[in-house]
Amino acid sequence: MNIWDEKNECMSREEIEQLQLERLQAVMNRVHKNVIHYKKIFDNLNIIAEDISSLSDLSKIPFTTKSDLLLNYPYGMFAVPLREVVRIHSSSGTTGKPIVVGYTKNDIKTWSNLVARLMTAAGVTRDDLVQIAFGYGIFTGGFGMHYGAEAIGASVIPMGTGNTEKQLMIMQDYKTTVLVSTPGYALALAQRLEKMGINPNALSLKAGLFGGEPWSEKVREEIESRLMLSATDNYGLSEVIGPGVAGECSCKNGLHIYEDAFIPEIIDPETGKVLPAGHAGELVLTTLTKEAFPMIRYRTGDITCLDYTKCACGRTLARMKKIMRRSDDMLIIRGVNIFPAQIEEIIYSVAQGETPYQIVVERKSGIDAVEIIVEITDKIFALELQKQRSFQENVKKRISAQAGINVDVKLVEAKSILRQNGKITRVIDKRQI
Amino acid sequence: MLKIKNVNTYYGQVHALKNVSLHMSAGEIVTLIGANGAGKTTLLNSLSGIAPPRGGEILFQDIPITNLAPHKIVKMGISQVPEGRQIFKPLSVEDNLELGAYLYHRAKAEKERTKKTADMIYELFPILKERRKQLAGTLSGGELQMLSIGRALMARPRLLLLDEPSMGLAPIVAQEIFQVIENLSRESETTILLVEQNARAALKMAHRGYVLETGRLILEGMAADLLENKEVQRAYLGKDKKEIWER
């Protein structure tokens, strides 16, 4: 079978739990010693690392949330001096400031091997040509997948995002065998392929690794039949490591979580109570092997459930269901995480005050499109056309700069956005995933 | 093969090991690194029953040995090579070795096996064979260390606990000892838990390592990764790096 790290992916439950306990106790000692945020919290609650004598004791420790990360912006959550950090990445915060995450040299190695696991599980070998159509910038997607493919020894084509026609040209000419992208972008590629009259059978694609946004079995079928490849899901988030937290094997029946590196828990997002295996709830992750940026009980906001039964592939690792929704209002637009509050902040700041607005998300031929509808109020916009245009441009530019996505901005007459009980629904998500 | 969970060991009021959990698979070399007083020797002593833990659980081949007497633990297959060799100097090399087989001395049937084990040890350390009739007190530091390891092996352990085998030895002699330990692990598949001042040499030899700090484990990892870990480098590998926090 295709297993990258048999020693760590096929342990007995007893072995996994012993290793997790050892590493959990060690990471608790490290964060208590090295991370001011955790030291404060543990000292306030009178928690000492010795309180953890079993994995279930983890539930005594408070959660880490996105707002904790924002409060400690930029480096407050780091467990090593900055000079030992060799890489910095970011992900979206709920407001203007992003989340900053760091990696030591060892962390990059750990990360590469974790991604190599999910790539191997998806069928990638060193004979493959892997075209990576994820962004290579400050987000973790591009680099993470890149390292994994390199660790396996595959030939990596670091395409980055966009430029669909060139992507297809390279896919044809270089004979790409593995596509790495968001599922949405895979559909867009398929669409363009059809438009250009290229038969997908003429391509060399055999596998596709899709992540970064939720996608359904229906989308999987569609991608598989239109691109003639085997599509697998993988999961990760920058705050925890980036891609490499979990990945599907060829059974396509849940994503194996790399439990030697992460402890998953499922909680009730309302009460914070830990739910038994099989119950759907919010995924909470604790990192066990990270040096620079350890996370204790990080609330991912993703809703899933866990399955500890053995998988036919031979891996003994727990599996999580494909993520289908969030416990908060975060939107995932073309693989980029966006919080409505972020957008609101920008609109209000450009408008210099509160203004009625609405965010509309649609999927147009596979690609997510965001339109921001802003009402013209007399106060600000009973002005000449030029100023309205510059307002539109400003909002666009600032969202693109701060949130990292392109949006359309539409101005409409006052009171023309539909209100329910006098309130505007801030976000309308028309996508069917 | 070995599984330790939440071990707490005290010397009087001093809490020397705080919730230590550790495991070893058969055939592994695992090293414990840490500063003086971190609890490395205490952990070995807790395993061998010399400093029995007040809390926690030690399983050796799935059998609890947490509060067994030292000689029973030896019988189960755990031998310790103590810090500072602890050789009986007025006795001959041969007699020192034979003491290692003390557990078997009554059983007639064991005589033959004990002799075989001794031959194996003489093969491993030819110098001991040369000096078998000599008094142990006349041996050099390196030879004493070999004798100490040899004596522990006489009990035919499955798990060998080695405490500071290179202490006080000239670098070239220390290297020889390390070589012996590596061969031992490779050839006889003895599982080895190694405590060593020379963290670099220990990590180069070991498969995995644990870092102890004031009685707590703060790191577990593949030995190669620990060698790359900056905290380990700073504290134990003599890389003189000042800690600078830039915020």
Interface residue B220 vs chain A (CB under 8 A): yes
Cβ pairs A/B, distance under 8 A: 74
A187 and A254 belong to one structural domain: yes
Nearest to A145 by CA among A115, A176, A171: A115
> What is the spatial distance between Cα A107 and Cα A240, in angstroms, rounded to a whole number?
11
The answer to whether the CB atoms of B5 and A21 lie below 8 A apart is yes
Taking 50 as the threshold, does the pLDDT of residue B241 lie above it? no
A129 and A168 belong to one structural domain: yes
List CB contacts of A76: < 8 A, sequence separation 6 or more.
Answer: A35, A36, A37, B247
Name the minimum distance, in Å, from the CA of A52 to any CA of chain B. Answer: 8
> What is the spatial distance between Cα A328 and Cα B42, in angstroms, rounded to a whole number?
49
The region of weakest confidence among A20-24, B36-40, B104-108, B112-116 is: B104-108
Please say whether the beta carbons of A49 and A29 come within 8 A: yes
User: In the prediction, which pLDDT does A71 show?
Assistant: 92
List CB contacts of B109: < 8 A, sequence separation 6 or more.
Answer: none
A309 and A347 belong to one structural domain: no
Question: Running DSSP on this structure, what letter comes out for residue A369?
Answer: E
A232 and A365 belong to one structural domain: no
| Section B157-168 average pLDDT | 94
Taking 60 as the threshold, does the pLDDT of residue B154 lie above it? yes
List CB contacts of B51: < 8 A, sequence separation 6 or more.
Answer: B9, B11, B16, B42, B45
Please say whether the beta carbons of B153 and B100 come within 8 A: yes
Name the minimum distance, in Å, from the CA of A53 to any CA of chain B. Answer: 6
If contacts are CB pairs under 8 Å, which of residues 218-277 in chain A contact chain B? none
Nearest to A237 by CA among A93, A376, A106: A93
ipTM of the prediction: 0.89
A349 and A254 belong to one structural domain: no
Interface residue B216 vs chain A (CB under 8 A): yes
> 3-state SS string over chain B?
CEEEEEEEEEECCEEEEEEEEEEECCCCEEEEECCCCCCHHHHHHHHHCCCCCCEEEEEECCEECCCCCHHHHHHHCEEEECCCCCCCCCCEHHHHHHHHCHHHCCCCCHHHHHHHHHHHHHHHCHHHHHCCCCEHHHCCHHHHHHHHHHHHHCCCCCEEEEECCCCCCCHHHHHHHHHHHHHHHHHHCCEEEEECCCHHHHHHHCCEEEEEECCEEEEEEEHHHHHHCHHHHHHHCCCCCCCCCCC
Kindly list the distances between the CA atom of residue A363 and the CA atoms of A133, A333, A428, B50, in Å, as whole numbers in the listed order.
Answer: 19, 10, 12, 69
Q: Taking the CA of residue A276 as centre, how many other CA atoms within 13 Å lie in the half-sphere pointing to its CB?
A: 0
A48 and A94 belong to one structural domain: yes
A10 interaction partners in chain B (CB closer than 8 Å): none
Domain with A392 in it: what CATH number?
3.30.300.30
B22 interaction partners in chain A (CB closer than 8 Å): 22
The answer to whether the CB atoms of B6 and A53 lie below 8 A apart is yes
Please say whether the beta carbons of A333 and A402 come within 8 A: no
Give chain A's domain count.
2
Q: Which domain holds residue A63?
A: 1-328
Query: Which comes out higher in pLDDT, residue B168 or A257?
Result: A257
Identity of the residue in B18, B230, B243 whose CB atom sits nearest the CB atom of A104: B230
Taking 80 as the threshold, does the pLDDT of residue B244 lie above it? no
Q: Which residues of B49-60 are buried (b: 16+ CB within 10 A; e: fewer)?
A: bebbbeebebbb
The answer to whether the CB atoms of B218 and A33 lie below 8 A apart is yes
| Start-end of H helices in A267-366 | 340-351
If contacts are CB pairs under 8 Å, which of residues 152-211 in chain B contact chain A? 210-211
φ/ψ (deg, to 5) at B174:
-55, -45
Q: What is the mean pLDDT of chain B?
A: 91
B220, amino acid identity: E
Q: Which residue of A has its CA nearest to B218?
A: A26
Provide the phi-psi class of A355: left if phi over 0, else alpha when psi is between -120 and 50, else beta.
Answer: beta
The region of weakest confidence among A281-285, B111-115, B217-221 is: B111-115
Name the minimum distance, in Å, from the CA of B217 to any CA of chain A. Answer: 5
Interface residue A175 vs chain B (CB under 8 A): no
User: In the prediction, which pLDDT does B245 show?
Assistant: 43
Instruction: Using DSSP, state whether A87 is helix, strand or coil.
Output: strand
Please say whether the beta carbons of B85 and B147 come within 8 A: yes
Last residue of a domain, one of A274, A305, A328: A328
User: For an interface test with A, which of B33, B216, B229, B232 has the most A Cβ atoms less than 10 Å from its Cβ?
Assistant: B216
> What is the spatial distance between Cα A99 and Cα A87, in angstroms, rounded to a whole number?
14
User: In the prediction, which pLDDT does A367 show?
Assistant: 80
Please say whether the beta carbons of A267 and A282 come within 8 A: yes
A109 and A229 belong to one structural domain: yes
Last residue of a domain, one of A283, A303, A328: A328
Please say whether the beta carbons of A260 and A5 come within 8 A: no
A101 and A202 belong to one structural domain: yes
> What is the spatial distance between Cα A131 and Cα A175, in angstroms, rounded to a whole number?
10
User: In the prediction, which pLDDT does A383 show?
Assistant: 62
Question: Both tokens of residue B143?
Answer: 């030879």
Name the minimum distance, in Å, from the CA of A23 to any CA of chain B. Answer: 6
Quote the radius of gyration of chain B (alpha carbons, Å): 18
Sheet architecture: strand order including A367-375: A408-412, A367-375, A357-364, A427-429
If contacts are CB pairs under 8 Å, which of residues 70-89 in chain A contact chain B? 75-76, 80-84
Interface residue B221 vs chain A (CB under 8 A): yes
Interface residue B133 vs chain A (CB under 8 A): no
Domain with A251 in it: what CATH number?
3.40.50.12780
A191 and A313 belong to one structural domain: yes
> What is the spatial distance between Cα B41 and Cα B20, in angstroms, rounded to a whole number?
13
Q: Which residue of A has its CA nearest to B1?
A: A15
Question: Running DSSP on this structure, what letter comes out for residue A76?
Answer: T
Nearest to A133 by CA among A96, A173, A184, A82: A184
> What is the spatial distance between Cα B183 and Cα B205, in angstroms, rounded to a whole number?
11
Residue B247: pLDDT band (50, 70, 90) is very low
A199 and A230 belong to one structural domain: yes
A163 and A231 belong to one structural domain: yes
The answer to whether the CB atoms of A52 and B19 lie below 8 A apart is yes
Residue B221: strand pairing partners:
B209
- Cβ burial of A175 (10 Å; 0-12, 13-18, 19+) is exposed
The answer to whether the CB atoms of B219 and A19 lie below 8 A apart is no
The answer to whether the CB atoms of B244 and A106 lie below 8 A apart is no
> What is the spatial distance between Cα A151 and Cα A145, in angstroms, rounded to a whole number?
10
For residue A74, cis peptide bond before it (omega within 30 degrees of 0): yes
Q: List, for residues B3-14, the tens digit of each pLDDT value.
A: 999 999 999 999
Provide the phi-psi class of A257: left if phi over 0, else alpha when psi is between -120 and 50, else beta.
Answer: beta
The answer to whether the CB atoms of B228 and A109 lie below 8 A apart is yes
A291 interaction partners in chain B (CB closer than 8 Å): 229-231
Q: Which domains does chain B have, with CATH numbers?
A: 2-85+158-236 (3.40.50.300)
Residue A367: strand pairing partners:
A364
User: In the prediction, which pLDDT does A379 show?
Assistant: 60
In the numeric block, the tokens 């670098």 are attached to B171
In the numeric block, the tokens 């059998």 are attached to B63
A284 and A345 belong to one structural domain: no
DSSP sequence for A167-180: HHHHHHHTT--EEE
> What is the spatial distance between Cα A98 and Cα A143, in angstroms, rounded to a whole number?
18
**Tens digit of each residue's pLDDT, chain A (433 residues):** 589 999 999 999 999 999 999 999 999 999 999 999 999 999 999 988 889 999 999 999 999 999 999 999 999 999 999 999 999 999 877 666 889 999 999 999 999 999 999 999 999 999 999 999 999 988 899 999 999 999 999 999 999 998 999 999 999 999 999 999 999 899 999 999 999 999 999 999 999 999 988 898 989 999 999 999 999 999 999 999 999 999 999 999 999 999 999 999 999 999 999 999 999 999 999 999 999 999 999 999 999 999 999 999 999 999 999 997 888 888 888 888 888 888 888 988 888 888 889 999 998 777 889 999 998 876 655 667 778 888 889 999 999 888 888 999 998 888 888 888 878 888 999 887 6
Last residue of a domain, one of A282, A299, A328: A328
Predicted TM-score of the model (pTM): 0.90
